[in-house]
Amino acid sequence: MKRLSLAILALISISFATQAQDDTQQEMRTIFGSPNISSIGGYGALNVGYTKINKLDAVQIGGRGMVVLNHSLALGLGGNGVISRPVYDVNLKEDFEFAGGYGGFIIEPILGSMQPIHVSFPILIGGGGIGYLKHWGDYEDDHNYENYDEDSYAFFVFEPGVELEFNVVKFMRFAINGSYRLTSDIDLNYKKTRDASFADTDIAPGNLLNGFNVGITMKFGKF
């Protein structure tokens, strides 16, 4: 009986010692966990697209630089420049256009990155500015620079998107993309020095930049 008691006591002691050793070696686990990064890459991209500004057709050109983690998540910076087609302003009696740009931080989850065709979901958060400018062809020989820019305004932007990507070669990807641009209210007004009938009135509604964008993107790097 004494021998049995000693054996049980020894087993309990060994069990506690083993558990203590495991607790010492095991890293604390948290709700969100610690990311296990097994692969780091990166890419640079150029994109061209179509959008609308205040219901006017517009061209959008941009780029981004990204770091790719585990082939499944890209983080980086990017931005776009936009310019609308010129339109005749009945108040100013000349052609004017909207032009500006925006940029910020981009997070891009990637699904099935190693497959020849897959999808990603870039999300841009940042800021930018937009102006109402005299069409360049109308002031090519005009040296009255103060009339080039009727008004300009800064804004916050949030733009989620989706891209259908094609792995062309190991270092190059081609994507067809779509996104929705959502900005804070934009307040563009005619100058106070204009004719009293329209001076200091709105040029366009505050949501003139809100809307869908479509385009293509070329990516080069290590994915």
Domains and CATH numbers, the chain: 36-222 (2.40.160.20)
Cα distances from 177 to residues 77, 126, 163, 217, in angstroms, run 17, 19, 4, 7
C-alpha span between 89 and 145 (Å, rounded): 18
64 neighbors 77 (Cβ within 8 angstroms): yes
Q: What is the pLDDT of residue 121?
A: 98
Single out the residue of 89, 154, 90 nearest to residue 128, CA to CA: 154
Q: What is the pLDDT of residue 141?
A: 56
158 neighbors 125 (Cβ within 8 angstroms): yes
Buried/exposed code over 52-69 (b: 16+ C-beta within 10 A; e: otherwise): bbbebebebebbbebebb
C-alpha span between 217 and 49 (Å, rounded): 9
Q: What is the DSSP letter of 121?
A: -
199 neighbors 190 (Cβ within 8 angstroms): yes
- Per the listing, tokens 């006017």 go with 56
Q: Going residue by residue through the chain (223 aa), what tens digit of pLDDT does each one get? A: 445 444 444 434 444 444 444 444 445 444 445 567 789 999 999 999 999 999 999 999 999 999 999 999 999 999 999 999 999 999 988 999 999 999 999 999 999 999 999 999 999 999 999 999 998 765 555 555 555 789 999 999 999 999 999 999 999 999 999 999 999 999 999 988 788 788 889 999 999 999 999 999 999 999 9
208 neighbors 58 (Cβ within 8 angstroms): no
